Structure 1
Amino acid sequence: MTSLKPLAAVAAVLLGTTSALAAEYELKLAHAAIGANNPVHLALESFAEDIASASGGQIEVTLFGGGQMGNDRELVELAQEGTIDIAVPTVSKLSAWDPAFAAPEIPYVFPSRDVALAVLGGAYGAYLEPKLNDLGLTTLGWFENGFRQMTNNLRPISKPGDLEGIKLRTMAVEAHIEAFDHLGANPTPMAFSELYSALQQNVVDGQENPLTNIVNNKMYEVQDYVSLTNHVYSAYIVVMNQGKFDAMPQELRSQLREALARALQTELDIIDADETRNLEVIEGAGVKVNALSDAEITAFREALGALSGRFEELVGADAYQALTAAVAQAQ
């Protein structure tokens, strides 16, 4: 008669192996960036793989992309309440809780990507951290949304006066609205989900977004001109429910932030590789592209200099001074 003991022993080993493979920390991460080929989504996929490996399988990250869990503000609220663990909103969306989060999107505050990332990942990011903690969140890292460019159906934009009378869709960021109004445009806040049809139906003449968004959302199909104005550096902030973060061992917390830093570099590499392709797609569709010279960008920066006091008022004097000091130091 065959003994059942060896089979029982094998079953016990298999059950033990299955248990060992189960992640101790199963984290839900959500973002609202549109498109499976969006650089932030691709970078987050690499992050999920990386952290699983780096943690020896102790951390498993499940992605919910493309806004399937909600828009940026809703994702922040879900992270606060612990329904999801990690949210990746654009940083300015957190200005609904504190205007200091809108400061990084003041037009022309950052002269380059390197300065922007040094400031956000350094002094100004540290300035924002207690404000996040007050919301029950902590920062894991940053991702790039990119420098925003202008598109429209009326004319190329190469100097401030070219914006006169253009009905331009903007985000609902007060600093953006006041800047475009000052430059003579007619800024029109509108949900991103409504933008393509609004351009198609001439509800607005133009809009402004990073090239990745312009291409991935096919806005070039309904626009005649793209002007590389680099007027706002837009960034994603990666925030985690603080209670869940604090409950993790220090080693795993460090691994999360280190994996996010590697994922940022992955994203930047993807963006750099896509830059030429994006311009080729836009120009291939018959859209006229004009890149502004340093002197032309300086003219925009100087034209908006008159609003520096207003920008300081909008984001708070402490935040404005902390940001401009961090930029000066990074330069």
Structure 2
Amino acid sequence: MNKLLSRSVLLATACGISAAAGAAEWTMATPYGDASFHTKNVKQFAEDVAEATGGELTINVHSGGSLVAHGEIKSSVRRGTIEAGEVFLSTLSNEDPIFEVDTLPGVAGSYEEAFALWQATKPVITELFANQGLMPLYAVAWPAQGIYTDFELDDPERFEGLRVRAPNINTQRFVDYLGGSPTETEESDIPTAFSTGRVDAMITSSSTGNAMTAWDYVSHYTDANLWLPKNIVFISQRAFDRLDEATQEGLLEAAARAEERGWQMSRDDNQASLEALQENGITVSTPNDDVAAALQAAGDQLFSAWQERADEQAQQVLEEYQQQRGN
């Protein structure tokens, strides 16, 4: 009896080990901290994947750049060091101008337009990722970008020489056109950048300002509705191909839910963050006529420069999107 029981236990243990060995475990890196709604969405996505696949796929999320720096995430997934990542899409603009189209002022000024722009550009972006052995899963927009300062931005001349945190090359160009001095700073380094005087202002969303407690170092937020940039979540095509069909389907279903949920989270977070900024003493306003005119002029320069860099395919995609939107 004891021998039979022992054999049963050994068999059960062996089966358990075999099942565990058949399950896949992925590593995912995101540069954003746990307070960001993007990270909250990613972590929920990982939970959904585990549930949808019956534990056949587990995704371990490393947030806040704790595992891989922002600029290394995409290349790490390409090399197979990690299986999944999240990046700010426009940081890839040095690879192709299509990646920065969502940071062009006036192209998409609402969530509805930003989502339509994503749908219009998604086939091209998917193809570009596929050429590098990568597979986009979903993208989610940030709230519209505004300008944080420690003074009232009531005159466009205040931009002259202003050291502005600009998270991507297009924002850096925009700051240049305004007469400012762009500084590239990761989100996690924003408080230090302000405290050490490396930056005097920043262009980012209400969400980032709230998550980074912007009221500790600025006093005003100009809600300029400049553009609605996106984060993109992607995986290694090779890692995806190693999954069985049922697990692949579960992963894609969870990704679709994450995209839908993420866009709503962005809307909700924008409203909550604007309220939080004001509750903590930040003056929230829209640009006056003079500042708005300066922002428009810089935006026009940015768009013209993009048209000169963009290839025929990128320009055609944007033209088709604008025609659909009646622009």
TM-score range relative to shorter protein: 0.7 to 0.9
Runs of 4+ in 1 over 4 A off after TM superposition: 296-303
In the TM superposition, residue 81 of structure 1 has moved relative to its aligned partner by 0.3
> Which 5+ residue runs of structure 1 have no aligned equivalent?
none
In the TM superposition, residue 146 of structure 1 has moved relative to its aligned partner by 2.7
Counterparts of 2:101 and 2:202, CA distance in 1 = 21
Task: Report the CA distance shift for 1:319/1:280 in structure 2 as closer, same or farther (over 3 A).
Answer: same
Task: Report the CA distance shift for 1:69/1:316 in structure 2 as closer, same or farther (over 3 A).
Answer: farther
Task: Report the CA distance shift for 1:58/1:100 in structure 2 as closer, same or farther (over 3 A).
Answer: same
Task: Report the CA distance shift for 1:96/1:179 in structure 2 as closer, same or farther (over 3 A).
Answer: closer
Residue number in structure 1 paired with 2:313: 318
Task: Report the CA distance shift for 1:276/1:190 in structure 2 as closer, same or farther (over 3 A).
Answer: same
In the TM superposition, residue 212 of structure 1 has moved relative to its aligned partner by 1.6
TM-score, normalisation: structure 1? 0.86
Residue number in structure 2 paired with 1:125: 122
In the TM superposition, residue 302 of structure 1 has moved relative to its aligned partner by 6.3
TM-score, normalisation: structure 2? 0.87
Task: Report the CA distance shift for 1:24/1:201 in structure 2 as closer, same or farther (over 3 A).
Answer: closer
Percentage identity across aligned positions?
Answer: 20
Spell out, residue by residue over 1:128-148, the C-alpha distance to the aligned partner (whole angstroms, 9 max, x if none).
122112222111111233321
Q: How is 1:120-269 mapped onto 2 (pairs within 5 angstroms)?
A: 120=118, 122-156=119-153, 161=156, 164-165=159-160, 167-171=162-166, 173-182=168-177, 184-192=178-186, 193-269=188-264
| Structure 2 contact 90–100 (Cα < 8 Å) conserved | yes
Residue number in structure 2 paired with 1:109: 107
Give SS of 2:58's match.
strand
Task: Report the CA distance shift for 1:179/1:74 in structure 2 as closer, same or farther (over 3 A).
Answer: same
Task: Report the CA distance shift for 1:169/1:244 in structure 2 as closer, same or farther (over 3 A).
Answer: same
Give SS of 2:222's match.
strand
Task: Report the CA distance shift for 1:164/1:65 in structure 2 as closer, same or farther (over 3 A).
Answer: closer
Residue number in structure 2 paired with 1:99: 97
In the TM superposition, residue 124 of structure 1 has moved relative to its aligned partner by 0.6
Residue number in structure 1 paired with 2:7: 8
| Structure 2 contact 165–201 (Cα < 8 Å) conserved | no
**Which residue identity is paired with 1:154?**
F
Residue number in structure 2 paired with 1:90: 88
Give SS of 2:112's match.
helix
Give SS of 1:271's match.
helix
**Which residue identity is paired with 2:107?**
V
Residue number in structure 2 paired with 1:28: 27
Give SS of 1:89's match.
strand
Please say which of residues 203-212 and 79-88 is displaced more in the overlay.
Answer: 203-212
Match of 2:274 among 265, 271, 279: 279
Please say which of residues 230-239 and 272-281 is displaced more in the overlay.
Answer: 272-281
Whether 1:309 aligns to 2:308 is no
> Which 5+ residue runs of structure 2 have no aligned equivalent?
none
**Which residue identity is paired with 2:254?**
A
Spell out, residue by residue over 1:27-84, the C-alpha distance to the aligned partner (whole angstroms, 9 max, x if none).
11111112x2211111111111111111122111111111012222201111000010
Please say which of residues 37-46 and 308-317 is displaced more in the overlay.
Answer: 308-317
Counterparts of 1:327 and 1:259, CA distance in 2 = 31
Counterparts of 2:184 and 2:172, CA distance in 1 = 11
